[in-house]
Amino acid sequence: MQRTVFFISDSTGITAETIGNSILAQFEGLSFDKHRLPFIDDAHKAEAAALRIKTHYAKSGERPIVVNTMADRALCEIVAASGALMLDVFAPFIGPLETELGAKRSGAVNRSHGLVDFDKYEARINATNYALSHDDGIDVDYAQADLILVGVSRSGKTPTCLYMALHYGVSAANYPLTDEDLEKLELPARLRPYRDRLFGLTIEPERLAQIREQRRAGSRYATLKQCRWELEQADRLMRQSGIPFLNTTHVSIEEIASKIFASFGIERTMF
Amino acid sequence: MQRTVFFISDSTGITAETIGNSILAQFEGLSFDKHRLPFIDDAHKAEAAALRIKTHYAKSGERPIVVNTMADRALCEIVAASGALMLDVFAPFIGPLETELGAKRSGAVNRSHGLVDFDKYEARINATNYALSHDDGIDVDYAQADLILVGVSRSGKTPTCLYMALHYGVSAANYPLTDEDLEKLELPARLRPYRDRLFGLTIEPERLAQIREQRRAGSRYATLKQCRWELEQADRLMRQSGIPFLNTTHVSIEEIASKIFASFGIERTMF
């Protein structure tokens, strides 16, 4: 039977969910039924949450697990009265940090995903607009790009660019290798001035064919033969041009982005 | 003087950074110099990280803070030898969870942002493609939309749609209210069948004018007068059509998304 987990927060719940998922992932082979309860910021909402958890407990007979980032102790106690196992994300770290910093926690609602810094917002939005307008080689002005992703169609360039823009404000352009590029085995002229900003994405041919089949069922574009040819040529082109590249088949968007940043020595932190 | 913080991980570092930022944000008024050290997964890399932290300590005279999600105890000890304050993100929760679940932590590298589940990947990518092709009212087939964001140009619809798609696999379309819609004070006919999936974004006129000025400096589009008129009309239209809406001026993309989900009762958890 799946154990039920509630991510509870006085704000978005993103921190509770992120750390909760990481902790639960360490218990391999177990699966969990996960629920997010965000914006629990007064006693009334905390009581409703506690009732829901308690009801769940009574029905299933299994003790629910609560991953909690609410700052207010009184609210935590209301939820704890449900009988769930309470994992308080911040509690273990506040004491050591207060000692180290010689400062008291402000005790306010967690605003790490709520506060808006206009400069940072602008950096996110500008980078996102950049990614949108430099997607699929449509716009050719690469001068402002922090980096340019290169690869065959459907190798994962667009979502990776958008993720890097939204979360790190990195202006990432994207260039899909055309059949012509792949036949010539030459970097297109307009990419050559930016060779040190290029990064390649590759993927296993079977997976690529599967993805393309979803997009254009029965097309030549989606055949394993075509995918294999494109990927082999792309591989050759990237090797001979000295472009670092990554096989994305078993890698999440987050990990692709982190590895690209590591490759370029970009240590930018998240928004 | 800014205290230096290192986010250390054997994987992407996203969990370390997320919880680290949340904890640090609770010490209002203090600012931190943050560095991410991802993929520290062997003794050699851990020693290089420790050396870097130790050097920093010696130079600044201030004890660095390490927010750590490495699972391997031996690697943690190598880094701890730098003398930094070690905040181990997982340690406090593993014991209680092992007891509760009657299972041992597998001890492997944290894969929560690395593992790829093809179904989930597809959901993210399909939703992202949906958001891209249903942006700015270009494509009018709203039948598949989980929700449709409505608002004047530059009110934050596009990044919000992309964020919801990338992280929650929610297919969010976006409809920019035109001058014609705003003059008529009528919902466009093609939105009417989907009234229960509409959500409005609004923004303060001063902020909108500032954003538009960056895009089209000196244009009528960017004048405070035009922004004010559009926003007043949009406000009227949303109220009379019974569309829930949110002022995004001081709200992060993450919080906008969480509030929209809460409004629709969407409890979907993150990818």
Q: Kindly write down the DSSP assignment for every residue of chain A, as one continuous string.
A: -PEEEEEE-SS-SHHHHHHHHHHHTTSTT--EEEEEE----SHHHHHHHHHHHHHHHHHH-S--EEEE----HHHHHHHHTT-PEEEESSHHHHHHHHHHHT-----PPP-TTT---HHHHHHHHHHHHHHHHTSTT-S---TT-SEEEEESTTSSHHHHHHHHHHHH---EEEEEPPHHHHHHT---TTTGGGGGGEEEEE--HHHHHHHHHHHSTT-GGGSHHHHHHHHHHHHHHHHHHT--EEE-TT--HHHHHHHHHHHHT--PPP-
Residue A270 lies in a domain: no
Instruction: Answer whether B225's CB lies under 8 Å from B268's CB.
Output: no
Residue B264 token pair: 């629709």
Asked whether residue B53 carries a pLDDT value surpassing 80, the answer given is: yes
Indicate which CATH number applies to the domain containing A181.
3.40.50
Is the domain of B53 the same as that of B92?
Answer: yes
Q: What angle do CA B96, B100, B105 make, to 5 degrees?
A: 70
**What's the burial of B117, exposed, middle or buried (CB within 10 Å: 0-12/13-18/19+)?**
exposed
Residue B86, pLDDT score: 96
Is the domain of B131 the same as that of B260?
Answer: yes
Distance CA A110, CA A170 (A): 26
Residue A106, pLDDT score: 79
Please judge whether B114 and A249 are an interchain contact, meaning their C-beta atoms are less than 8 angstroms apart: no
Instruction: Answer whether A77's CB lies under 8 Å from A16's CB.
Output: no
Q: What is the mean pLDDT of residues A111-137?
A: 77
Residue B202 token pair: 């609004």
Please judge whether B105 and A65 are an interchain contact, meaning their C-beta atoms are less than 8 angstroms apart: no
B99 is known to lie in a ligand binding site: no
Work out the minimum CA distance from A26 to partner chain B, whole angstroms: 5
Q: What is the mean pLDDT of residues A144-170?
A: 94
Q: Give me the domain span that covers residue A57.
A: 3-101
Residue A110 lies in a domain: no
- In this prediction, residue A171 has a pLDDT band, given cuts at 50, 70 and 90, of very high
- Close Cβ partners of B182 (under 8 Å, ≥ 6 residues apart): B152, B229, B230, B233, B234, B237
Is the domain of B22 the same as that of B154?
Answer: no
Please judge whether A128 and B87 are an interchain contact, meaning their C-beta atoms are less than 8 angstroms apart: no
Asked whether residue A110 carries a pLDDT value surpassing 60, the answer given is: no
Residue A107 lies in a domain: no
Is the domain of B242 the same as that of B130?
Answer: yes
Residue B134, pLDDT score: 85
Please judge whether A85 and B100 are an interchain contact, meaning their C-beta atoms are less than 8 angstroms apart: yes
Please judge whether B258 and A12 are an interchain contact, meaning their C-beta atoms are less than 8 angstroms apart: yes
Residue B268, pLDDT score: 73
Is the domain of A155 the same as that of A68?
Answer: no
Residue B241 lies in a domain: yes
B120 is known to lie in a ligand binding site: no
Residue B117, pLDDT score: 72
- Domain stops at, among B71, B101, B131: B101
Q: Which residue has the higher pLDDT, B106 or B85?
A: B85
Distance CA A84, CA A91 (A): 17
Total residue length of chain B: 271
- In this prediction, residue A112 has a pLDDT band, given cuts at 50, 70 and 90, of low
Longest dimension (CA), chain A: 69
Distance CA B178, CA B188 (A): 9
Please judge whether A85 and B96 are an interchain contact, meaning their C-beta atoms are less than 8 angstroms apart: yes
Percent of chain B with pLDDT over 70: 94
Residues of chain B neighbouring A207 (CB-CB closer than 8 A): 118
Closest B-chain CA to A69: B22
Closest B-chain CA to A25: B112
Q: What is the mean pLDDT of residues B107-111?
A: 56
Residues of chain A neighbouring B250 (CB-CB closer than 8 A): 116
Is the domain of B74 the same as that of B167?
Answer: no
- With a threshold of 0.95, tell me whether the complex ipTM lies above it: no
- Domain stops at, among B101, B134, B153: B101
Q: What is the mean pLDDT of residues B22-43?
A: 91
Chains A and B form CB pairs within 8 A to the count of 227
> Residue A173's beta-bridge partner residues?
A148
Residue A226 lies in a domain: yes
Closest partner CB to B262 (pick from A18, A38, A91): A38
Is the domain of B150 the same as that of B54?
Answer: no
Work out the minimum CA distance from A175 to partner chain B, whole angstroms: 17
Residues of chain B neighbouring A65 (CB-CB closer than 8 A): 97, 100
Please judge whether B35 and A253 are an interchain contact, meaning their C-beta atoms are less than 8 angstroms apart: no
Residue A241 lies in a domain: yes
- Domain stops at, among B101, B135, B164: B101
Work out the minimum CA distance from A53 to partner chain B, whole angstroms: 15
Is the domain of A133 the same as that of A32?
Answer: no
Residue B141, pLDDT score: 79
Q: Which residue has the higher pLDDT, B2 or B59?
A: B59
Please judge whether B124 and A35 are an interchain contact, meaning their C-beta atoms are less than 8 angstroms apart: no
Structural domain count of chain B: 2
Closest partner CB to B12 (pick from A15, A110, A254): A254
C-beta neighbour count of B118 within 10 angstroms: 12
Residue B113 lies in a domain: no
Residue A130 lies in a domain: yes
Query: Binding site membership of A: which residues?
Result: 151-158
Is the domain of A82 the same as that of A146?
Answer: no
Closest B-chain CA to A94: B23
Distance CA B240, CA B181 (A): 13
Asked whether residue A142 carries a pLDDT value surpassing 80, the answer given is: yes
Please judge whether A101 and B26 are an interchain contact, meaning their C-beta atoms are less than 8 angstroms apart: no
Closest partner CB to B166 (pick from A15, A112, A163): A163
Please judge whether A252 and B115 are an interchain contact, meaning their C-beta atoms are less than 8 angstroms apart: yes
Write out the H or E segment, with its range, that includes residue B175.
strand B172-176
Closest partner CB to B26 (pick from A27, A110, A166): A110
> Which tens digit of pLDDT belongs to each residue from B141-200?
789 999 999 999 999 999 999 999 999 999 999 999 999 999 999 999 889 999 999 999
Is the domain of A163 the same as that of A211?
Answer: yes
Is the domain of A138 the same as that of A260?
Answer: yes
- Close Cβ partners of A27 (under 8 Å, ≥ 6 residues apart): B97, B101, B103, B105, B106
Percent of chain A with pLDDT over 70: 94
Torsion of CA B185, B190, B194, B199, to 10 degrees: -50
Find how far residue B100's CA is from the centre of its chain: 31
Instruction: Answer whether A69's CB lies under 8 Å from A87's CB.
Output: no
Is the domain of B91 the same as that of B159?
Answer: no
Work out the minimum CA distance from A223 to partner chain B, whole angstroms: 19
